[in-house]
Structure 1
Amino acid sequence: MRIRPSRSFAVDTVIALAMVAVAVLLGGESVRQGWPELDCPAYALVALAHLPVAFRSRAPLVVFGAVQAASVVYISAGYWPVVCTFGPMLALYTVASVRPARTTAVCVGLLVAVWIYAGVVSESGAMASVVGQALLFSAVLWRFGYLARRSAELARELRAEQAERARREVAEERGRIARELHDVVAHHMSVISVQAGLARFVFDSDPPTARSALGTITGTSAEALDELRRMLQVLREEDLDDPGAAPAAPMPGLARLGELVERVRAGGIPVELRVEGPPRPLAPGVELCAYRVVQEALTNVLKHARDARATVELVYRRHQVTVEVTDDGQGVIQDRVGTGGGHGLIGMRERAKLYGGTISIGPRSGGGFAVRLTLPTSAQAARQGDDRTE
């Protein structure tokens, strides 16, 4: 497993010192095993065969070569070979954990060759056992190192996938926020613009109407600020972690369609609201989607068909809810649709798709414009809708 040098050097140093201590203690058994007693040059070689391991994370191949060279000199001097096996074995594992298989294979071959060389120099009578041990230990070290390298690679790939997923989620969230801001700002500013123009026109000739228009501007701007404040509060991460933070107000839903219609009426557009079927609470996302679509449709009426009459029809069915906004305006249809669909119309379609609904937007055969949205209100209906779209 790859370890960052800045964090691993102290740990590797401790490991190297521990291996030197074990090798020195093991060297004290050399005479009992029939080998020469270790002297100062032998202990120096033992240190050279283990201490470089402290730098294994920084230069694994250099460390492997250094400890192998020290081991070869130690073995050639006629000392007990087992004493200098720890450093080369750990160095081989490190190479296998951070280098490709081809490089590791060369190092495995060198370790096996040194091991066999030790058996030849010591005139061992069990060369088959020596060769078997060399191959077995080298294969085990290579395998564990390979598994550590693959684990590190998979961890990096997982982090990269998580980072990519986070970037996609951020992009989607930005799109959602952009749609919400568009819906809030476009609708309320359209109402304010209409009312400000009316107040200016009748300011001297009809003060009561001007005051009514200013009152509508005050209420609409206050509501716009409330919705913007609600969105910003949702975006503030610290509010989510603060148990003392005030709970965010609920997002607008179908129960507030009456208020939306009243604002548009105050803007000079006669709007009729019809509700069919017994109203019932729906999922917050479904209600917000339907509310925003109606809001955007009425905003388009304010922008492009101010002389029109509009109708908002809300129909509750068993497994779905339908909202339809129609008008009889003679505004330019191309302005409503836009060359590229417009941000508002794109937002409508994306909202409908998000909740498994269908939406139709376009001119009516008898004149005017219509927006019709159908949203499923149950998982079963959503699945049926998905099956129909496949």
Structure 2
Amino acid sequence: MADIVYAVVSLGIMGTMLRNWPNSEGYWRHTDVWAYVLIALVYLPLAVRRRAPLTVFVSTAACTLCYVTLAYYHVVVVCGLGLAFYTVAVQCPRRVAARCAAASLLVLLWGTRLAEPGIGPLSVVFVTVTVAVLWVTGDRSRRLAERGERLAVLTEQLRLEQEEKEQRAVMAERMSIARELHDVIAHHVSAISVQTGLAGYVFTSDPRTARTALETIAGSAHEAMAEMRRMLVVLRERPERAQEEEEEEGAGDHTAAPGLGRLDQLARRVEAAGVSVDVRITGVPFALPPGVDLCVYRVIQEALTNVMKHAPAASASVSVHFDEAAVRVRVTDDGQEAIPVGTIAGPAGHGLIGMRERAGIYGGTVTAGPGPRGGFEVALTVPLPPAR
């Protein structure tokens, strides 16, 4: 709309100048209908100059050339050709703009022959400087626009990368929560399932054993609830308030994060389910970083859970070795049949995947498969930083 208004207003102004400009000396050709037609052909196409800059420039330059060749008053067409060339410099490549600059300069220099006596050289300087200024300003505007487009593209790329990072962070957090839920639920539910079957089997024949099984079920359920409560503390927006609520509820020591310090308790719970567990710690024990400590505990817990599931009559052995470079864990059982690798984690393979993901976070590795003497073996190695 602005270009249309400019074209119409400019045509009116230049037509008025052409009609009223004095020509008593006869320097220019007398104004006739063709002069107004050519002026209209110079200015009216400027209404669409942004849509077809090169076409409008060629048309305007051709009409301007005809106008000055016919020796009409030349000043009134300079603005039209200048704006058409400026549009080309803004929107077209530099090589095209250079050619249009040369064409504009030649047309305007041809028109300077019509200048009044005494100002011819000044007219040459004026049109030369005008074309140069239009070229420089148009080229700079074009480069600024290109930079703005590149900046917009870069901004969009950064936004997409940020969204992708946020999505990866959310996915990583979900995977972490899923691992914790799997490790907590799978172990305790397995223990409860085994003890429930035992209690039901000996309920009438051996009440004492049944009572012991029920106590084990209660302990497993209580510990599962405590660990679930600890996870909620981490996930809540205000963990300090959640911790205070837990303390008021009497969670006590059960809210502490699991680690190797609770390995004996884990072994007793598994033994209560009917699986004998032999725990051996070699090397010089030392306090592991909290994350590594939890990782080692969860891998041992998952391995023993799978022994309860798939080899309930077997005996298990847990070996934890400390050295300066790494902590090494080996969980084996003497089951008559080796546990298939695909079943260690259930139908979806979550257990083994969770083990490897946990170990991978700290640069460790997990291997699982049939043991050299039968049964099944899970091995974990987690390197430790030199500045432990």
- Which of the five TM-score ranges fits, normalised by the shorter chain? 0.5 to 0.7
User: Which residue of the partner structure matches residue 140 of structure 1?
Assistant: 140
1:53-92 equivalent positions in 2, closer than 5 A: 61=50
SS across alignment from 1:310: strand
Aligned residue among 325, 331, 335 for 1:329: 335
SS across alignment from 1:315: strand
User: How far, CA to CA, are the matches of 1:229 and 1:112 in structure 2?
Assistant: 80
Judge conservation of contact 2:328–2:381 (CA < 8 Å) in 1: yes
User: How far, CA to CA, are the matches of 1:116 and 1:233 in structure 2?
Assistant: 80
Letter in structure 2 aligned against 1:279: P
Q: Deviations over 1:332-380 (max 9, x none)?
A: 5327557989321222222223322232322222222221211111158
Letter in structure 2 aligned against 1:175: M
User: Which residue of the partner structure matches residue 170 of structure 2?
Assistant: 170
Q: 1:91 to 1:149 in 2, by over 3 A?
A: farther
Judge conservation of contact 1:326–1:371 (CA < 8 Å) in 2: yes
Unaligned runs of 5+ in 2: 7-20, 22-46, 62-66, 68-73, 114-122, 247-254
Letter in structure 1 aligned against 2:179: R
Aligned CA RMSD, in angstroms, stands at 4.6
Judge conservation of contact 2:203–2:210 (CA < 8 Å) in 1: yes
User: Which residue of the partner structure matches residue 215 of structure 2?
Assistant: 215
User: How far, CA to CA, are the matches of 2:101 and 2:222 in structure 1?
Assistant: 79
User: Which residue of the partner structure matches residue 373 of structure 2?
Assistant: 366
Judge conservation of contact 1:337–1:362 (CA < 8 Å) in 2: no
User: How far, CA to CA, are the matches of 1:117 and 1:211 in structure 2?
Assistant: 110
Residue 357 (structure 2) pairs with residue 350 (structure 1): yes
SS across alignment from 2:124: coil
How much has 1:115 moved relative to structure 2?
9.7
Q: 1:135 to 1:266 in 2, by over 3 A?
A: same
How much has 1:81 moved relative to structure 2?
7.9
Judge conservation of contact 2:338–2:376 (CA < 8 Å) in 1: no
Judge conservation of contact 1:274–1:312 (CA < 8 Å) in 2: yes
How much has 1:164 moved relative to structure 2?
2.2
User: How far, CA to CA, are the matches of 1:231 and 1:114 in structure 2?
Assistant: 76
User: Which residue of the partner structure matches residue 49 of structure 1?
Assistant: none
User: Which residue of the partner structure matches residue 265 of structure 1?
Assistant: 271
Judge conservation of contact 1:108–1:138 (CA < 8 Å) in 2: no
Residue 161 (structure 2) pairs with residue 161 (structure 1): yes
Judge conservation of contact 2:49–2:87 (CA < 8 Å) in 1: no
Letter in structure 1 aligned against 2:354: G
Aligned residue among 310, 322, 346 for 1:316: 322
SS across alignment from 1:373: strand
SS across alignment from 1:372: strand
User: How far, CA to CA, are the matches of 1:367 and 1:327 in structure 2?
Assistant: 8
Residue 254 (structure 2) pairs with residue 225 (structure 1): no
What TM-score results when the alignment is normalised by the length of structure 2?
0.66
How much has 1:314 moved relative to structure 2?
1.5
User: Which residue of the partner structure matches residue 276 of structure 1?
Assistant: 282
**Relative to structure 2, which stretch is displaced further, 291-300 or 337-346?**
337-346
How much has 1:281 moved relative to structure 2?
1.6
Letter in structure 1 aligned against 2:219: G
Q: State the aligned residue count.
A: 327
Letter in structure 2 aligned against 1:351: R
Unaligned runs of 5+ in 1: 1-15, 21-35, 37-51, 53-58, 382-390
SS across alignment from 2:373: coil
SS across alignment from 2:128: helix
Judge conservation of contact 2:338–2:374 (CA < 8 Å) in 1: no
How much has 1:153 moved relative to structure 2?
0.8
What TM-score results when the alignment is normalised by the length of structure 1?
0.66
Residue 295 (structure 2) pairs with residue 299 (structure 1): no
